Chain A
Amino acid sequence: MILIHSLTFGYPRGALIFQDFDWQVARGQTWTVLGPSGCGKTSLLYLLAGLLQPTSGQIEIDGQPLTRPRPRTGLILQDYGLLPWATVRQNAELGLRVRNFYGPDGTHAPRDYSPARDVMPWLERLGLAEFADRFPAQISGGQRQRAAIVRTLALSPDLLLMDEPFASLDAVTREDLQNLTLSLCAEQQLTLVIVTHAIEEAVALGEKILLLETAPNQNARVFENSQAGQSNYRNSQAYHDLCNLLWKEMRHEKA
């Protein structure tokens, strides 16, 4: 699904963040990208979203070289993703309205796209129907993030990228939304890449965990975590062991 080959990337007048970096993600996998602040997690996500371009090297998604945002990739950010002047329903419709605005041109919307506007089934599914006419400032952080998820899922993506999506939520809401995200991804057969700085979240969600280090990143350090997402995994010994291992790795890296 994602094929990164020999990626080199740095911001103008900044140090390199990735250097000759290779990484692969298979279709339907659930990945978490973990690392300390400034390691390039968010940059990696923006590269995958087509919002940043590599200095050199290739990123291919679904066999196609990535040069601009791809219609079937959904991106969900921690905050600020919703338009404050639009209601929950209008925000949820936004991606569809952007597609309707351009029509099925293959660049901004898939060629096989037929104009649609109905997001109510999704809003109902995620418990937002009764808040459809409210503005983002009138609903809770968890509901705002659900609205962002509806907006993305309404576009029938095949790849979902999330940047610290649950960081500003309380513990209970966070776990609910994490489980919801996993079940939706399984149901819609989405490939999922979640960026997080929280070890527990990385282990709870990612079948595979990519640990980024202090920039520049040269090797993809991958940790297998096949039990992620299974019920009660968070209370298991394997979960705690992996958390401890990652904690030591990150601490070692820092030292």
Chain B
Amino acid sequence: MKRRDLLLSALGLVIVWQVFAMIVSRPILPAPWEVFIVFFQELGNGLMIHFGVSLWRVVAGMALSVLVAAPAGLAIGGSRTMNRIFSPIIYLLYPIPKVVFVPVVLLFLGIGDTAKITIIFLILFFQIVVLVRDQAAGLPPQLLQSLRSLGAGRRALFRFVYLPASLPAILTALRQSIGTAVAVLYITELFATKYGLGYYIYYNGGTLFNYPAMYAGVIAMSLLGLGMYFAVDWLERWLCPWKFIS
């Protein structure tokens, strides 16, 4: 995608927003310029800290899920026995909407960051395990045979085939889950915290009725999701250049 196209799309969205603001003409939908001004004022007024806290929670949750789920997916996809044992369990747990566990996790892990990071981890874990497992299990047998014939045993197969083959699956899983992760982050930040963009948005909108500030929070949260999306794209270009050849 070209940068120019992205900028034009962003401009288009701002224009639509402006038109709606003019039609609605009430404080609950301020015009974009008003929100932008408040956004920059709020940055120095605590919004930056809320952004940082949210970023930390979502990045920690994602990193944790990659570190745990990718090896698990590799192990399950790379071994028929492991696949037979664990796939039915994953099959049962995968479709359960993990967000319903928010109150349970809060009860068990308390009100700190651990609970919030754990919930993001729970959601991403299954997406990554499933994608990495399928990628590892779907490798052409000829590829594995030719590596074995070069002397590769199990360890070398993981190092030279399974691991690099699973990288795109990990990144795809991350990209697919960023939206969910940020949405869940918002929900977890509604409970028992005074920091984070979820708290900031809800506090300004629901308690202070400071709508421009609330929208500034919404913009910050969108930028958080968008930034992570770009980061994953960049990582993919850096780690998987072979996927971008013409």
User: Could you tell me which A residues sit within 8 Å of B by CB distance?
Assistant: 46, 49-51, 69, 71, 73-81, 83-86, 94-95, 97-99, 101-102, 107-109, 135, 137-138, 148, 151-152, 155, 161
Residues of B within 8 A of A80 (CB): 140, 142-143, 146
B53 near A: Cβ within 8 Å? no
B79 near A: Cβ within 8 Å? no
Residues of A within 8 A of B241 (CB): 135
A-B pair number, CB within 8 angstroms: 81
Contact with A along B126-166 (1 / 0, CB 8 A): 00000000000000101101111111110110011100110
Q: A108-B152, A109-B151 are in contact. Are A135 and B242 (CB under 8 A)?
A: yes
How many angstroms between the C-alpha atoms of A50 and B152 in the bound complex? 12
How many angstroms between the C-alpha atoms of A97 and B150 in the bound complex? 10
B85 near A: Cβ within 8 Å? no
Number of interface residues, chain B, beta carbon within 8 A: 24
Min CB distance A149 to B, Å, is 12
State which of B140, B143, B159, B245 has its C-beta within 8 Å of the C-beta of A137: B245
How many angstroms between the C-alpha atoms of A150 and B196 in the bound complex? 56
B240 near A: Cβ within 8 Å? yes
State which of B156, B160, B167 has its C-beta within 8 Å of the C-beta of A83: B160
Residues of B within 8 A of A135 (CB): 241-242, 245
State which of B149, B240, B242 has its C-beta within 8 Å of the C-beta of A49: B149
Contact A79 B151 (CB under 8 A): no
Q: Which of B181-224 contact A (CB under 8 A)?
A: none
State which of B151, B159, B245 has its C-beta within 8 Å of the C-beta of A138: B245
* Chain B residue, CB-CB nearest to A148: B146
Contact A98 B147 (CB under 8 A): yes
Min CB distance A80 to B, Å, is 4
Min CB distance B64 to A, Å, is 26
Can you name 17 A-B pairs with beta carbons within 8 Å? A51-B148, A69-B150, A80-B140, A80-B142, A81-B142, A83-B161, A83-B164, A85-B165, A85-B240, A85-B242, A86-B164, A94-B160, A98-B151, A102-B153, A135-B242, A137-B242, A138-B245
How many angstroms between the C-alpha atoms of A57 and B238 in the bound complex? 51
* Chain A residue, CB-CB nearest to B149: A75
Contact B143 A95 (CB under 8 A): no
Contact A81 B146 (CB under 8 A): yes
How many angstroms between the C-alpha atoms of A107 and B156 in the bound complex? 13
How many angstroms between the C-alpha atoms of A79 and B149 in the bound complex? 14
Contact B161 A71 (CB under 8 A): no
Contact A98 B242 (CB under 8 A): no
> Which residue, of A73, A81, A99, A161, has the highest number of chain B Cβ atoms within 10 A?
A81
Contact A101 B159 (CB under 8 A): yes
> Which residue, of A85, A99, A135, has the highest number of chain B Cβ atoms within 10 A?
A85
Contact B143 A108 (CB under 8 A): no
Min CB distance A142 to B, Å, is 18
* Chain B residue, CB-CB nearest to A75: B149
Q: Which of B222-246 contact A (CB under 8 A)?
A: 240-242, 245
Contact B160 A97 (CB under 8 A): yes
Contact B142 A98 (CB under 8 A): no
Q: A83-B160, A85-B240 are in contact. Are A75 and B151 (CB under 8 A)?
A: no
